[in-house]
Amino acid sequence: MLNKITDFIRREGLIQPGDRVICAVSGGADSVALLFGLYLLKDKFPFQLEAAHFNHNLRGAESQRDAAFVQDLCARYDIPLHLGSGLVQPGKKGLEAAAREARYGFLRSLPGKIATAHTADDNAETLLLHLIRGTGLRGLGGIAPISGRIIRPMLTVTRQEVEAFLQEWCLTCVQDSSNDTDAFLRNRIRHHVMPLLTVENPRFSENLSAMAMRLRLDEEYLSSQAGQVLPPVSRLRAMEPALRSRALESFLKQCGVREPEQTHLAAAEALVFSSKPSARASFPGGITIARSYDRLEALQEGNGPESVILSCPGEGEFGRFRVTCTPAVSLQQPQKGFTVCPVGQIRLRSRQPGDEIRLSGGTKSLKKLFIDRKIPAAQRQGIPVACDETGILGVGGFGVNLDRAAQQLPAVTICFEEILLEER
């Protein structure tokens, strides 16, 4: 197992010398194996190893047992541990999705790279989940080895190899009782579907995971060929369907359609082939896309997301951005955010009439700034404007309001990260 992790880290460039790597540890077999594997490798690359555990408080005494187990494990090997906790409530997508969102929110509040213990079996299960729900080439790509600051060093390792590794090093782990129930679709696939397929081919998980990673490369290549700028309608009509659909998907995302589905792509394609030069179609979020002879364009901005209160330390989502706030360690302005000294609460909101910001080129209204930067109209209301009780602190993707840049500590650093589709 250790050789597989080493080879995968090198092949995918997951860890570089001097990196700070925080291993997410639930206490289960996979995460314990990853933590100890990284512990054995930390001087080989070398990198700084830490651990993190999030207590969802969903399983009573069992949740407290898991946290205590992880604390003891990290103390035994002198690994610094970050502990997080929360009371998770089911959201629109269910309890499992809410727990995942809370866990990743905590992990992303930590500095450095976050290593998670997804295995080849997890990748195979994910691919089957996507097939059941309906998917395209992107969904068949399974779990990404790298997603922002998240790295997954065990995607070529099977669950059987994990168990053998734990036995070899006399390592114990805890069992999550929620994994025994068939209430979740993933568990039903794991308990009933995967064993049948493994009987037909003992290397099924490995093979499916390897196929997913090859298909991911195919998807990346096709998407790169589609380009970032939407071609004229006449060129879209002449494009290969595989490239045209990707060009339209990218365009819809730029217009503010967060997760374009097949029905949305079909509606956009209908505009391309419409005989009406001024045809139009409605999309989620109050977005209207219209033909203007040889062009597709967004007609209106929509109302924008609701405002969000951002605590420190804390994390929130606004539009297509994930926004984190942490105590500042220096006055340097980060590349994807800014450092300020807020007065009272920090609020993320959409642009409002009269909003202005002073950047290096002088003071401009946000309306003119967005127009100068060629931000699509339907996307402008989804750009987070960070404010406090006295005015605008800065704008996501544009930078700090120079009138509010921190001049001394204590201060806070607000960072913006575009949310990847596959993390949803």
280: Cα separation from own chain's centroid = 32
- Name the class of domain 2-215: alpha beta
pTM: 0.65
* Residues sharing a CB contact under 8 Å with residue 43, sequence separation 6 or more, in sequence order: none
On the question of pLDDT at 286 being above 80, the answer is no
- The pLDDT score that the predictor gives to residue 89 is 72
C-alpha distances (whole Å) from 269 to each of 251, 252, 297, 301 are 12, 11, 13, 21
Read off the pLDDT of each residue in 217-221 and give the average, rounded to a whole number: 93
Lowest mean pLDDT among 52-66, 80-94, 185-199, 291-305: 291-305
Quote the CA–CA distance of 102 and 89 in Å, as a whole number.
10
Neighbours of 283 (CB within 10 A): 20
Q: Answer yes or no: same fold for 2-215 and 227-298.
A: no
Q: For tokens 């997951």, what's the residue? A: 14
Judge whether 70 and 25 are in contact, CB under 8 Å: yes
Three-class SS state of 174:
coil
**Into which CATH architecture does domain 227-298 fall?**
2-Layer Sandwich (3.30)
pLDDT-based confidence at residue 424 (cuts at 50, 70, 90): very low
Domain locations along the chain: 2-215, 227-298, 308-423
- Give the mean model confidence (pLDDT) for residues 402-422: 84
Backbone angles phi, psi at 254, to 5 degrees: -65, -30
Mean pLDDT of the chain: 89
Residue 193 DSSP class: I
Q: Phi-psi region for residue 231, left (φ > 0), alpha (ψ -120 to 50) or beta?
A: beta
HEC string of 19-44? Answer: CEEEEECCCCHHHHHHHHHHHHHCCC
pLDDT exceeds 70 at position 215: yes
